[in-house]
Amino acid sequence: MEIIPLPGALAIDVDTCVPIIHGEPTLDQEHAIASRPLPLIHTLAFEMLAEIMVLALAPRIGPNGRSEATARDVQRLCQVCSYWREVAVKTARLWTTIPLPIMTWDWQVAPSPTKMFLERSAPLPIPVCILPIFIEDSDVNLVEISPMVSNISDRWRTFKVMCPWDKFDVASLARISSLKNLESLHLKWTKPESWHGSELDAFLHAPRLRDVRIEVPLATSNILSMPWAQLTRLSLTYDSPQLCLDVLSSCTKLVTAYVNTKQWLESDSPDDSYVARSGLLAHLTELRIHSRIYSTGETLGPFLRRFRLPALKTLDLNVQLSETDDDTFVDRLTPALTFLLAQSPNLHCLRLGNGSWGSFYAEDMPDILHYTPNLTELVLSMLQVDDNFFEALRYAGPNTTPLVPELDTLVLMDVGESFEEASFGDMIRSRWWSDVERLAMLTPPIVTRLKHIKFWNQGLHNMADDFKGFTAELVDTMREYCSQGLDLTGSNYFPQTSHHPSSPSPGEPGASGSEGEGSGSEGEGSGSEGEGSPLEDVFSMLSDTIERFSIER
């Protein structure tokens, strides 16, 4: 008899599905088990158990990042008992949780499991992922779409190619007959010289395609073929900034956009005459643009001057030096940024990253923030701030017009030491009050109380000779604020001051999970049998359900 442990005191006999009591059972427990005419798990409605199984296989974000269920996880749900097998086999949604085709441990297509998943998931749309990833061995065989997968292209919900383009059999795209259910597309290739431009034409006829992610490390002269006008999500990594700008202009229905590109060559700087015909992206709420610096041309300016973004809520701008060359140049972006912000009054989150150079300057921040009256989150990275910056943020009372009155989250990462402790502390004191102090105020503040502060001068902390911490007096004050509810973390600057368990701040490494989808695999090690596995999640949910049923009885 195989026993599978449940959280708490229960376990499940996989042969009978009878709950087992760990330790010496009491008379009441023995009587309760003996008096049950039918195991309580069997009293769960078919639909309830099916929903629990599907939820248990959903992707999860944990301490080690995003985790995906595997083919073996699905198969194990079929092995608990005959009732579970019946529910699993008849629940088509359960068989759509794993990207197809199923792969073996040595990255070969497993025909039998793939066929089984295709049959049991029918007629629902399925995710498709073409592996392997990052093959550099020139002797590797050509990677193609399995015929059994390409023959049902009308059922593709997501399609991802994660292998070198020169190893991918692009001719297999010609076998695609229909993409009527395709919603998401992710293409990544490393040898763009092997791409002739027409390979993507098949995706022009995907009426439900809304989410596109394309990663090409080197620019080509080819124009990307996509139904840009219907997309709502775009992630584009491409070394031609002009092509990225033109593509973004064509995506009139975008809600979120991410662009990672290079700096314009000085000889190729775009003509600003297009400003007069600037594009309206009325639905865009999140825009992230990262530019790598290697020349003396423009970086983000053309993007900031081109568009009107009235619905924008999150703006993330980052410039990063890719080569230490005296001929490089970073243009000052404040005029272009204020031009954009003046037309985006609903901005809630602003993230500015300077890399190692100065596109944004501390003295410009008051002017920039003047155009963000609804800002709730400000993230500055590698941008030197000074006393004037903190003075501009300090709340001076109800008879003033404060900058960013809705600000409740402030993240400062590697912002230098060009400020005094007094200005930093005064700014925080002016925007913090306890609940008791708030009740005693005759006139309520016209600014929002700070909730989260992250001060992460990690780069400076590593330079011991230049490092200066804060005085014990300020640290004690911050600890008091944290005891009153402020969430403050600060590397070694504010040791043990955080009142709440802190998660990585936006823009900090580890702040977001991987966007990729996993692929099920067959063979040893492909199952998730450890703590927090999908099967254990099922048992945890069932344990709670059993307990509720017992109480009701």
Residue 397's region, left for phi above 0, alpha for psi from -120 to 50, else beta, is: left
pLDDT of amino acid 308: 94
Place of tokens 């999860």: 60
pLDDT of amino acid 459: 53
Where residue 523 falls among pLDDT bands split at 50, 70, 90? Answer: very low
**Alpha helix locations (H) across 157-280?**
241-250
- Per-position DSSP letters for 406-449, written without gaps between them: T--EEEEES--S-S-HHHHHHHHHHT---HHHHHH-SS--SSPP
> Which residues does residue 307 pair with via DSSP β-bridges, in sequence order?
279
Residue from 116, 111, 109 nearest 94 by CA: 116
b/e 215-240 (16+ beta carbons within 10 angstroms → b): ebeebbebebebbbeebbbbbbbbbb
pLDDT of amino acid 352: 93
549 pLDDT more than 60: no
Instruction: Name which residue leads in pLDDT, 258 or 49.
Output: 258
CA–CA separation, 110 vs 264, rounded Å? Answer: 46
Mean pLDDT, to the nearest integer, of 91-109?
87
CA–CA separation, 222 vs 183, rounded Å? Answer: 24
Q: Which residues, other chains included, contact 357 with Cβ-Cβ below 8 Å and sequence gap of 6+? A: 293, 319, 321, 328, 330
pLDDT of amino acid 351: 96
Peptide bond into 270 cis (omega under 30): no
SS (H, E, C) 339-364: HHHCCCCCCCEEEEECCCCCCCCHHH
Mean pLDDT, to the nearest integer, of 82-108?
88
CA–CA separation, 418 vs 384, rounded Å? Answer: 7
Mean pLDDT, to the nearest integer, of 493-498?
56
> 3-state SS of the chain: helix, strand, coil percent to 5?
35, 20, 50
pLDDT of amino acid 168: 73
Q: 59 to each of 121, 269, 437, 517, how far by Cα in Å? A: 18, 43, 44, 9
pLDDT of amino acid 517: 39
Where residue 320 falls among pLDDT bands split at 50, 70, 90? Answer: confident
- In the chain, % of residues over pLDDT 70: 67
Q: Which residues, other chains included, contact 207 with Cβ-Cβ below 8 Å and sequence gap of 6+? A: 180, 230
Mean pLDDT, to the nearest integer, of 454-461?
69
Identity of residue 211: D
CA–CA separation, 206 vs 63, rounded Å? Answer: 37
Lowest mean pLDDT of 74-83, 193-202, 333-342, 438-447, name the range: 193-202
Phi, then psi, of 334 in degrees rounded to 5: -60, -45
Long-range contacts at 439-443 (CB < 8 A, ≥ 24 apart): 443/398
- In the chain, % of residues over pLDDT 90: 36
462 pLDDT more than 60: no
Lookup: tokens for 41: 């798990």
Residue 8's region, left for phi above 0, alpha for psi from -120 to 50, else beta, is: left
SS (H, E, C) 149-168: HHCCHHHEEEEEEECCHHHE
Phi, then psi, of 320 in degrees rounded to 5: -140, 130
365 pLDDT more than 70: yes
Where residue 389 falls among pLDDT bands split at 50, 70, 90? Answer: very high
pLDDT of amino acid 292: 84
11 pLDDT more than 50: no
Where residue 128 falls among pLDDT bands split at 50, 70, 90? Answer: very high
Q: How many CB atoms lie within 10 A of CB 11?
A: 18
Q: pLDDT digits over 265-311, tens only?
A: 766 666 555 544 568 999 999 999 998 887 777 888 889 999 999 99
Say what the pTM is: 0.79
Pair 316, 347: CB distance under 8 Å: no
CA–CA separation, 223 vs 441, rounded Å? Answer: 62
CA–CA separation, 289 vs 303, rounded Å? Answer: 9
pLDDT of amino acid 411: 95
pLDDT of amino acid 62: 66
CA–CA separation, 44 vs 546, rounded Å? Answer: 9
Place of tokens 């709440």: 500
Residue from 215, 223, 122, 95 nearest 161 by CA: 215
CA–CA separation, 303 vs 236, rounded Å? Answer: 14
Pair 196, 219: CB distance under 8 Å: no
CA–CA separation, 347 vs 7, rounded Å? Answer: 45
Average pLDDT, the chain: 77
Q: pLDDT digits over 400-434, tens only?
A: 999 999 999 999 988 888 889 999 999 999 999 99
25 pLDDT more than 70: no
